[in-house]
Amino acid sequence: MGVSYIPVARVGELSAGAMKEVDLGGRQVLLAFVEGRYFAFSRTCPHEEADLKIAGQLLGGATIRCTNHSYCYDLASGECTLPKGAAPLTVLPAEERGEEVCIRLEW
């Protein structure tokens, strides 16, 4: 068991509403800076596997909309909010640690 903080960006590197691609252990993740908070999530939409780097649209309220089918996900919980009950987006906790934005992985 343990905890890893994996640095993925410098604080201030992302402007408001920007997304950055990150490779985490061989998996593609997006880091987004929305409403003053960082969110990390899988680059693949769980509905039909669209690339959220291309199809993802950040909305207010820390929500991402996949423009392929208008599915919306809460970036904090991963819950699919439109339509409700669909498969969730894989999300990871992101936090500022000093000058770095890190993904916290606990196992």
Partner 1 sequence: MAFDLLVRGGRVVDGSGLPSYVADVGVKNGKVVEVGKLNESASKTIDASGLAVAPGFIDHHTHLDAQMLWDPYGTCEPQHGITTVVMGNCGLSLAPVRSGIEDAIVKSFVRVEAIPRFALEEGVKWNWHSYGEYLDNFEGKVGINVGGLVGHIAMRHEVMGEDAVERKATGAEVQKMRGHVLDSMEGGALGISTNRNERHMREDGKPVASRLADDEEFFALCDVLAERNGGVIETILGRNKIEHFEFYHELAKRTQRPVLWQSLQHRWAEPNLWREQLDAVEKIFKAGYQAYGLSHTVPLVRHFELKNCQVFDEFPTWKNLMFLPVEVRKQAFADPATRDKMRADLASPAPTNFHRRWDILRVEKVVKPENQKYNGKNIEELAKMQNKDPIDAFLDLALEEDLGTVFWNANNGGDWNAMGEILRSPYVLVGTSDAGAHVQFGADFGYGTILLGLWVRERQVMTLEQAVHKLTFHVASIFGLQGRGLLRPGYAADMAIFDPKTVNSHEPEWAHDYPANSKRLVQRSDGMHYTIVNGTVIHEDGRMTGDLPGHVIRGPLYRQQKAAA
The binding site for partner 1 (CB under 8 A) comprises 1-2, 4, 6, 24-27, 29, 42, 44, 48-50, 68-70, 82-83, 86-88, 90, 92, 103, 105-107
Q: Are 94 and 42 in contact (CB under 8 A)?
A: no
Closer by beta carbon to partner 1, 8 or else 19: 8
The helices-and-strands tally (H runs, E runs) of the chain is 1, 11
Nearest-approach distance from CB 7 to partner 1, in angstroms: 12
Count of Cβ atoms closer than 10 Å to residue 88 Cβ: 15
With left for phi above 0 and alpha for psi between -120 and 50, is residue 68 left, alpha or beta?
A: alpha
Provide, rounded to whole angstroms, the least separation between the CB of residue 46 and partner 1.
Answer: 9
Which CB, 27 or 37, lies closer to partner 1? 27
- Minimum separation from the CB atom of position 75 to partner 1 (A): 16
Question: 13: left (phi > 0), else alpha (psi -120 to 50), else beta?
Answer: alpha
- In the bound state with partner 1, the residue whose beta carbon lies nearer, of 44 and 58, is 44
| Shortest CB 10 distance to partner 1, Å | 20
